[in-house]
Amino acid sequence: MNELGDRNQRVGPIAGLGALLREFGIQPRAFGEEFGVDLDRLTPDAREPFGLMLRMLREAAARTGCPHLGLLLGSRYRPTEHGPIHRLMATAPTLRDALLDFVHWQFGYSTAATVYLDRIGDDFAFGYGAYERTAPATPLLYEMCAAIGVTMIHELTGGAVSPVEIHFAHRPAADLAPYQRILRAPVRFNQNQTCLVLRAAALEAPLPGFDPVARARLIQAMAAHGFASLSAAARLRRIVRPQILRDDPSMAGAARVLRVHPRTLRRQLAAEGVSFEQVRDEVRFMLARELLQLTDLPIGDISNALAFATHAAFVRAFRRWSGAPPTVWRAAARLTASPPPSANAARPPEAA
């Protein structure tokens, strides 16, 4: 797995970075030239390496002194800018169908992260997670996606549905006011996943734009780029993170979600030169590092989140992957982490 984040990614909300930098008094042309990107010409449909966009996001937050820059970018991104996916979602009969549309088709926009809709207790998590290491830009990325999700649900349902909570897999910010103002829902930090929590009943909310004829036409037009066009390993990476969080990291569980026999899945993966255990452990290792570095969750809680049978089994696995036990790795990661951006710089009108 490429640690540098070279997987391809639709630019999406990062296209608004130039305009936001200008509000802070930073010239986007000069900023973009440092990364080889013309921010004035960037559009949501453009594609850039995942890691490059994260580095731009982190540097922009540092130079503006705005720790919640991700929230600002996400709040300005309109669902219509999702293009064909938004048009399909808008024709869905219920919010559940619309969110599942996004889950199914999002792979065409990002090959480095996954979106999922999964049960969390009596409710559902509409979650986002990378399966490629993103720290230290992860909090900015996840906050941007959360803000996009809030707007998406609000506009799809005509304001009838809002998340009951929003969870972040990182430590709390020093200033919580922007979260309350932009997200308009209770926020919980130091969680094992980043997600919008929705009531089960809310998923059955009918959508005002339901159009079965237009929906069938859109699905047919998009079918050539469907989920089945991904490799077996790519399909597995997309579903294994929520499987782990659901406490089911098994081959049988993954095969059930992918609707294939376990033997078929193993054979497909072998033909691509990988095993189920390799892909699962890649995602587990990435998620372990994310939670160790970005949260204050106890090691035992992280072990549970990763669906290890025992704390000792997690420690052994992490030592095998990294060469150090989790406690030692966490201490070293915090010592070498980049300092957070200052919160004292001038703010644009939306952040006042």
pLDDT at 110: 80
What is the reported pTM?
0.90
Say how many C-beta atoms besides its own lie within 10 A of residue 258's C-beta: 18
- How is residue 33 written in tokens? 């030239």
The side-by-side arrangement of strands in the sheet containing 113-120 is: 113-120, 123-130, 195-198, 165-167, 187-188
SS (H, E, C) the chain: CCCCCCCEEECHHHHHHHHHHHHCCCCHHHHHHCCCCCCCCCCCCCEEEHHHHHHHHHHHHHHHCCCCHHHHHHHHCCHHHHCHHHHHHHCCCEHHHHHHHHHHHHHHCECCEEEEEEEECCEEEEEEEECCCCCCCHHHHHHHHHHHHHHHHHHHCCCCCCCCEEECCCCCCCCCHHHHHHHCCCEECCCCCCEEEECCHHHHCECCCCCHHHHHHHHHHHHHHCHHHCCHHHHHHHHHHHHHHCCCCCHHHHHHHHCCCHHHHHHHHHHCCCCHHHHHHHHHHHHHHHHHHHCCCCHHHHHHHCCCCCHHHHHHHHHHHHCCCHHHHHHHHHHHCCCCCCCCCCCCHHHC
Closest CA to 128 of 163, 90, 174, 81: 163
| Sole residue written with tokens 């990291």 | 249
* Mean pLDDT in order along the chain per 10 residues (352 residues): 56 95 97 96 92 93 96 94 93 98 86 90 94 78 96 96 97 94 96 97 96 94 66 90 92 94 96 96 94 96 96 96 96 73 46 38
Say how many C-beta atoms besides its own lie within 10 A of residue 198's C-beta: 25
Q: Using an 8 Å Cβ cutoff, are 125 and 117 in contact?
A: yes
Q: What residues does 47 pair with on adjacent strands?
A: 10
pLDDT at 222: 83
